[in-house]
Amino acid sequence: MCGIVGYIGHREAYPIIIKGLQRLEYRGYDSAGVMVYNEDGMLVCKTKGKVADLASKCESELNLVGNLGMGHTRWATHGVPNDVNSHPHVSNSGNLSIIHNGIIENYEPLKIELIKRGYTFTSDTDTEVLINLIEDVQKTDNLKLGKAVQVALNQVVGAYAIVVFDVRKPNELVVARLGSPLAIGIGENEYFIASDATPFIEYTSNAIYLEDEEMAIVRLHKPLKIRKIKDDTYVDPYIQELQLNLEQIEKSGYDHFMLKEIYEQPSVIKDTYRGRLLADQGIIRMAGIEDNLEKFLQAPRIIIIACGTSWHAGLVAEYIFEEFVRIPVEVEYASEFRYRNPVINKGDIVIAISQSGETADTLAAIKLAKQKGAFVFGVCNVVGSSISRETDAGAYTHAGPEIGVASTKAFTTQITVLTMIALRLAQAKGTLSKSELQLYLQELSNIPTKVEECLETNEQAKIIAAAMKDAPNCLYLGRGYNFPVALEGALKLKEISYIHAEGYPAAEMKHGPIALIDEHMPVVVIAPKQGHYDKVVSNIQEIKARKGQIIAVVTKGDTQVRELADYVLEVPDTADALSPLLTTIPLQLLSYHIAVMRECNVDQPRNLAKSVTVE
Ligand code: F6R
């Protein structure tokens, strides 16, 4: 977590850094800070709160003029969010400053040692330890900044993306990464450094993504030099052309990124299958699958690893793979998988799902699976992310940047990719008949239009939100393919509106949760016509008998549930297996409107961050 931005060049650094931090705020937003260097030295401004708070503090207190600087937006790990713990941190001598995304796990023994050597600390952070360690190494061995950073990093355990500055080297920034992302934008006589490319896309479309265990000396008027942190081998920089554009990372007239991203779903689902799904010709082709088709066909089992919403997409995939491909599937939380001793048999395939491609637990689970001999396939959204690089092969979702912290379009595009994989395997294995396959292909290509129809529930979602917004608790129920949708609906509600919500398989209700139902309990039931409709109707009757408030997601034209429910949200008819792509949409809208009505910060819910790069 945490977002970092650095700049060195001919422009004013401060505005670039503040705008960049605003774009990276999805990564953390409990405190922020900036440092700008000019002939007066390092000017540092830090505050608890958001980047907007930082900007008003800086602008009222300081004149941050200068062509070199760095900034940080924080998601606290070590030390509470306050001004002192905010980055940048300055070394004891006042010569060095640092911004850091990640965790230095062995900071305590290092700190004790530095205290013995006379260093003092003002913050509770691991980062202040790191900058003083760099200073100590630099002083003791009389090293240049780059070398001192390298020696110090070889003493730390943990994860980092860092930018370090030395006032005595005012044309240089030293950057390094291990386990946290770091991109370097290359302009004309200027360099941009950031956790992702969004802070600099209007200035350059050329970027280098540092690999783990690499560092770079970024010097004005000099070509970039990248080397390994462990030894001194130099690495040829690989310059990528960015595919991002400004519009993709702006709200484009929507009140929140989350709403914009909900509304983008018809187009991004289409982007995700474009060129891969040719329904009329009965073709599905995805390079990552074609290249490894035999492995998939021979696999005795698929294990899916992911966290949060991506884990929910994995659950939907479990149902789809087992039904379409007749292959056993297990879905695991990456955080659990990595700390037990999972059994991986010869030929097992692991599929890792991650929007950001940076989730620490998923990354660690992938490494473990690879150690145990599994072939690991990634389903990621962020191109060039750590997970996309760590996996043996993969398929990208094409959701575009997801900036709202609550995942929406990532979920539906993940399901789209996973469905295409299942259909391709079913085609190759013959586990679906030609006509069944054709039907699904056709129906998948109809999904974007049907998602557009689902978005028409927006006004109804607002009405229901007004009725639900003061409830302290809420239950979400679904069966079969729509059980994971119930989990996802509950997660969306709790994370952005802070209403306690639980998702259950509808039939499990009577094994406990039914005790919670009374006239004050809203129960959201996902009850599309296909699937286990009659069973779900019985569950709805049971809720009604206990005076629960029923909000039902139903297929257009449904009359039976409409008679029982207090409110309905209608979605178009589709195949049962594809229904999560539709039923999830009104639930996203419902959570969104409830959160807005409760005056919650929809795009930046408390305590959360978009990219969870710590365990
Ligand atoms: C919920 C949400 C999180 C993420 C989870 C995994 O709305 O966004 O639960 O799904 O942190 O993140 P990725 O998919 O980036 O690995």
Among the atoms of ligand 1, which is closest to the Cα of residue 610?
8
Q: 359 CB under 6 A from ligand 1?
A: yes
Pairing of strands 473-478, 283-284: unpaired
Residue 90: which H helix or E strand, with range?
strand 89-90
In this prediction, residue 454 has a pLDDT band, given cuts at 50, 70 and 90, of very high
Domain boundary among 212, 230, 248: 248
Give the per-residue SS3 of 239-267. Answer: CEECCCCHHHHCCCCCCCHHHHHHHCHHH
Cβ contact 576:479 at 8 Å? no
Q: What is the pLDDT of residue 26?
A: 83
Pairing of strands 96-104, 89-90: antiparallel
Question: Rounded to the nearest whole angstrom, what is the distance from the C-alpha of residue 610 to the centroid of ligand 1?
Answer: 7
Q: What is the pLDDT of residue 193?
A: 98
201 and 267 in one domain? no
Question: Rounded to the nearest whole angstrom, what is the distance from the C-alpha of residue 397 to the centroid of ligand 1?
Answer: 14
Q: What is the pLDDT of residue 76?
A: 83
Residue 99 one-letter amino acid: I
Residue 96 lies in a domain: yes
Structure tokens at 112: 């004790």
User: For 269-315, what is each residue's pLDDT tens digit?
Assistant: 999 999 999 999 999 999 999 999 999 999 999 999 999 999 999 99
Residue of 333, 286, 329 whose CA lies nearest to 308: 333
How much is the average pLDDT of 251-275?
94
Q: What is the pLDDT of residue 250?
A: 84
Residue 16 lies in a domain: yes
User: For 563-591, what is each residue's pLDDT tens digit?
Assistant: 999 999 999 999 999 999 999 999 999 99
How much is the average pLDDT of 378-397?
93
Q: Alpha-carbon distance 84 to 82, whole Å? A: 6
Contacts for 544 with CB less than 8 Å, ≥ 6 apart: 550, 564
577 and 477 in one domain? yes
Q: Alpha-carbon distance 31 to 364, whole Å? A: 28
User: For 527-567, what is each residue's pLDDT tens digit?
Assistant: 999 989 999 999 999 999 999 999 999 999 999 999 999 99
Q: What is the pLDDT of residue 1?
A: 72
Q: Kindly give the interhelix angle for 308-325 and 483-497, rounded to the nearest 10 degrees.
A: 170
Q: Does 171 have pLDDT greater than 90?
A: yes
Q: What is the pLDDT of residue 462?
A: 98
Q: What is the pLDDT of residue 383?
A: 83
Q: 307 CB under 6 A from ligand 1?
A: yes
Among the atoms of ligand 1, which is closest to the Cα of residue 311?
10
Round the average pLDDT of the chain to a whole number and report it: 95
Residue of 312, 284, 274 whose CA lies nearest to 398: 274
Q: 356 CB under 6 A from ligand 1?
A: yes
500 and 418 in one domain? no
Domain boundary among 201, 223, 248: 248
Residue 446 lies in a domain: no
Residue 363 lies in a domain: yes
Identify the DSSP state of 88: P
269 and 205 in one domain? no
Q: Does 79 have pLDDT greater than 80?
A: yes
Structure tokens at 371: 């150690």
Looking up residue 270, the CATH number of its domain turns out to be: 3.40.50.10490
171 and 294 in one domain? no
Q: 354 CB under 6 A from ligand 1?
A: yes
Q: What is the pLDDT of residue 587?
A: 98
Residue 293 structural domain: 252-432
Looking up residue 174, the CATH number of its domain turns out to be: 3.60.20.10
Give the per-residue SS3 of 271-293. Answer: HHHCCCEEHHHCEECCHHHHCCH
Mutate to test the pocket of ligand 1, among 1, 304, 356 (most ligand atoms within 8 A of CB): 356
Q: 335 CB under 6 A from ligand 1?
A: no
Question: Rounded to the nearest whole angstrom, what is the distance from the C-alpha of residue 307 to the centroid of ligand 1?
Answer: 6
Q: Does 610 have pLDDT greater than 80?
A: no
318 and 201 in one domain? no
* SS3 at position 115: helix
Share of the chain above pLDDT 90, in %: 87
Residue 363 one-letter amino acid: L
How much is the average pLDDT of 9-33?
94
Residue of 500, 496, 529 whose CA lies nearest to 513: 500
Q: What is the pTM of this model?
A: 0.86
Cβ contact 75:46 at 8 Å? no
263 and 212 in one domain? no
Question: Rounded to the nearest whole angstrom, what is the distance from the C-alpha of residue 359 to the centroid of ligand 1?
Answer: 8
Question: Rounded to the nearest whole angstrom, what is the distance from the C-alpha of residue 405 to the centroid of ligand 1?
Answer: 8
350 and 271 in one domain? yes
In this prediction, residue 243 has a pLDDT band, given cuts at 50, 70 and 90, of confident
User: For 103-125, what is each residue's pLDDT tens digit?
Assistant: 899 999 999 999 999 999 999 99
Among the atoms of ligand 1, which is closest to the Cα of residue 359?
16
Residue 121 lies in a domain: no
Q: Which residues are catalytic?
A: 2, 610
Q: Alpha-carbon distance 45 to 62, whole Å? A: 8
User: For 469-490, what is each residue's pLDDT tens digit?
Assistant: 999 999 999 999 999 999 999 9
352 and 272 in one domain? yes
558 and 502 in one domain? yes
Q: Alpha-carbon distance 127 to 143, whole Å? A: 20
Q: Does 252 have pLDDT greater than 90?
A: no
In this prediction, residue 334 has a pLDDT band, given cuts at 50, 70 and 90, of very high
307 and 194 in one domain? no
Q: What is the pLDDT of residue 607?
A: 85
| 18-32, 240-254, 297-311: least confidently modelled range | 240-254
How much is the average pLDDT of 132-145?
96
Structure tokens at 615: 């365990």
Identify the DSSP state of 541: H
Residue 512 lies in a domain: yes
Please state the domain count of the chain.
3
Residue 440 lies in a domain: no
Residue 48 lies in a domain: yes
Q: 362 CB under 6 A from ligand 1?
A: yes
How much is the average pLDDT of 72-91?
92
Cβ contact 178:100 at 8 Å? no
Q: 241: exposed, middle or buried (C-beta count within 10 Å: 0-12, 13-18, 19+)?
A: exposed
Q: Does 395 have pLDDT greater than 80?
A: yes
How much is the average pLDDT of 244-265?
90
Domain boundary among 227, 248, 269: 248
Signed CA dihedral, 533, 535, 537, 543: sign only: negative
User: For 220-238, what is each residue's pLDDT tens digit?
Assistant: 998 898 999 998 899 998 9
Q: Whose CA is nearest to atom 5 of ligand 1?
A: 308
How much is the average pLDDT of 121-145?
96
428 and 501 in one domain? no
